Amino acid sequence: MGQNIESLYQKISDETDKFTKINCNILVKYPNAIRIFRLLAGHDQRSFAKLIGKNQQWVSAIERCFIHSISEAEAKRIANVIRKLGAATVGANVISVLQIEIANRGKFSGEYAREMALKSAGTNSIRSAELQKPTEQEKAISIALHNAGINFQMHAPIKVGKVTFVCDFLVGKEPIIIEAKNLTTKYRIKALISELAYRALRIRRYHPNAKLIAVLNRNAIASTSEKIILSEEFDSLFFDDELEKLAIEISGSGFER
């Protein structure tokens, strides 16, 4: 998986002489540097993907190190686009905040991007949740969605009144929200199920048109009654060996558009 965004920022800054010498070599050596250049140009994944002739899934995969290499010819082409966009440098301590703002609000540029990033940093818990590394279960879900050509955000914040939740996966504008849990121990199982049910109820209150999906591991240590609770609060309940079926349901729902 990718390294901490602040340390990646510092490494790329050092190797490009504070972003003054951007060439294809940096992208060949560090493909996930695309993440830094995208943020400094003020673009979300979707708009940046269009600029470089790719799709959002490819940009996401590169940034999360699911794709580990870029050819020299492709790196040269992308580097040319990056140089034309320009990189408004920020402090290493601001880059992760900028990431959250752009993910939430789309495209900004220059001083406005930095100002908005600082204003909307959110709580440390939200930032930590959004930037946490995907679990093995989340990796499997992201691969299934990617293979089905479904655009998604992982660890995406969503407003529910005055509270902000970080969803495991957010798809489309309606939206579709996927919450994934790997229940392998009886410890706090009732609390975890209750937390999922509460999140579903809260989201439904403020997003009545949302489609809510829960994903559990097949050998989940949960009672029949607890699984019934989740089935009642979520529109669909899948096990992690049914991810292709999950992707098919999403694709057929029309919600992802």
pLDDT per residue, tens digit, the chain (257 aa), is 445 888 898 999 999 988 888 999 999 999 999 999 998 888 888 889 999 999 988 998 999 888 889 999 999 999 999 998 876 666 666 777 677 667 655 444 444 444 544 444 444 445 555 566 788 999 999 999 988 889 898 888 888 887 788 889 999 877 899 999 888 777 667 778 888 888 899 899 999 999 999 999 988 877 888 888 888 899 999 999 999 999 999 987 765 44
Q: Does a structural domain hold residue 124?
A: no
Residues 247 and 141 in one domain: yes
Token pair belonging to 219: 């050998």
Could you give the number of structural domains in the chain?
A: 2
Residues 133 and 247 in one domain: yes
Kindly report the CATH number assigned to the domain that includes residue 239.
Answer: 3.40.91.80
**Rounded distance, CA 125 to CA 118, Å?**
16
Global pTM reads 0.51
Q: Does a structural domain hold residue 87?
A: yes
Q: Does a structural domain hold residue 230?
A: yes
Residues 176 and 106 in one domain: no
Among 100, 119, 138, residue at a domain's last position: 119
- Domain containing 224 equals 129-253
Q: Which residues neighbour 165 within 8 Å (Cβ) at sequence distance 6 or greater? A: 157, 158, 199, 202, 203
Q: Does a structural domain hold residue 209?
A: yes
